[in-house]
Amino acid sequence: MGPKILLVRFSAIGDCVMAAWTATSIKERHPDAFLVWAVEGRCAPVIDRHRLVSQRVEFPRDRWRLKKWSPTTWQEQVLKHTRLRKIGFDFGIDLQGHSKTAICLRIASPKRRISAVATDGFAAKLNPVLGNRPEGLHQIEWFQRVLQTMGDYSLPKMPVMPAVSSETNPKLVSISVSAGQEFKAFPLERWQQIAEQVVAAGYEVTLLGGRTDKGFDVPGVTNEVGKLRLKDTLSVVARSVVHLAADTGTGHMAAALGTPVVSVFGPTDPNTFRPYATNGIVLKHGEDTSSVSADEVLAAFHQLSQAVNA
């Protein structure tokens, strides 16, 4: 049996997708590794549990937060961490660096451990930290440098993702109206303008988003905002000829699934956090996503769709 390895990345969805490159790198070098990924339950569906990891250990942090003073919650937390410790990991990596993930890695007690970052002083004291990520280096490439402190690992061309219905529909365009944080969101009325023009060009549009997001109802547009499970969202993105999104998790899904993607960025640095794809276009003008026009998004969409059909 290969080495026992712990990867800690609790959230968010897009960050877990980016961490899948690291997990894939481990699996490519050690096909027989016992690879465990510690993750929050809501993000777990983006992690393949058949070909990529041996075990997903899901931390129900949303439920724990609701009853954080309950002795039952404390007991469950202790049991989760203790079970990890009993595995006897050869090495472990924290790709998030928050106190909650740093505690997880420290209590699991691998023989060797490393963290990609420490976001607070407490996390910095719990585990060794590689250092500061060089400015402009993509997050996935930084994760790879962290992994390489544990051995000679190569960055894979694509990550292993959950198997979904992925036969491309040449007429399907998906649009994510969502953004994990409000300052990253692209104006909804602009998404509607874009959707109407895409439909007029002969495509079908499916809207994606979370339960707190709002969609719109126009002819030719299927509004699935707040209606799909995460795995179903993956499937829609996989089947799309092009995916359109702000700086959010579905853009990273598209990159990981090989779907061409147009991303609208605001304050975040795209050199570091763009969807890691060669068939992607990032649009950004300053710190405000609304500085990007609907016409620019449409032009980028047509550029990618024409490349697919060439």
Asked if residue 203 and residue 143 are part of one domain, the reply reads no
Residue 69 sits in the same domain as residue 130? yes
First to last CA, the chain: 46
CATH of the domain at 144: 3.40.50.2000
Residues 13, 122 within the same domain: yes
* Claim to verify: residue 81 and residue 184 sit in the same structural domain: no
> What is the per-residue DSSP string for the chain?
---EEEEE----HHHHHHHHHHHHHHHHH-TT-EEEEEEEGGGGGGS-TTTT-SEEEEE-HHHHHHTTT-HHHHHHHHHHHHHHHHH--SEEEESS-SHHHHHHHHHH--SEEEES--SSHHHHHHS-B--PPPTT--HHHHHHHHHHTTS-----SS-----------TTEEEEE---SSGGGPPPHHHHHHHHHHHHHTT-EEEEE--TT------TTEEE-TTTS-HHHHHHHHHH-SEEEEESSHHHHHHHHHT--EEEEESSS-HHHHS---SSEEEEE-TT-GGGS-HHHHHHHHHHHHHHHH-
Residue 266 sits in which domain range?
A: 172-309
In a domain, 239, yes or no: yes
Q: Indicate the residue type of 86.
A: K
Is the domain of 92 the same as that of 36? yes
- pLDDT recorded at residue 187: 97
Q: Which two structure tokens, joined as six digits, stand for 49? A: 């549990």
**pTM for the predicted model, two decimal places:** 0.95
Out of 148, 164, 195, a domain closes at 148
pLDDT in tens, the chain (310 residues): 799 999 999 999 999 999 999 999 999 999 999 999 999 999 999 999 999 999 999 998 778 888 888 878 888 888 888 899 999 999 999 999 999 999 999 999 999 999 999 999 999 999 999 999 999 999 999 999 999 999 999 999 999 999 997 688 999 999 999 888 889 999 999 999 999 999 999 999 999 999 999 999 999 999 999 999 999 999 999 999 999 999 999 999 999 999 999 999 999 999 999 999 999 999 999 999 999 999 999 999 999 999 987 7
User: Which residues make Cβ contacts (< 8 Å) with residue 32, sequence separation at least 6?
Assistant: 1, 2
Q: Specify whether 100 is located in the same domain as 185.
A: no
Residue 157 in any domain: the answer is no
| 258: alpha, beta or left? (left if phi > 0; alpha if psi -120 to 50) | left
Domain count across the chain: 2
Residue 139 covered by a domain: yes
Residue 188's alpha-carbon distances to 31, 204, 228, 265, 274, in angstroms, are 44, 18, 19, 15, 21
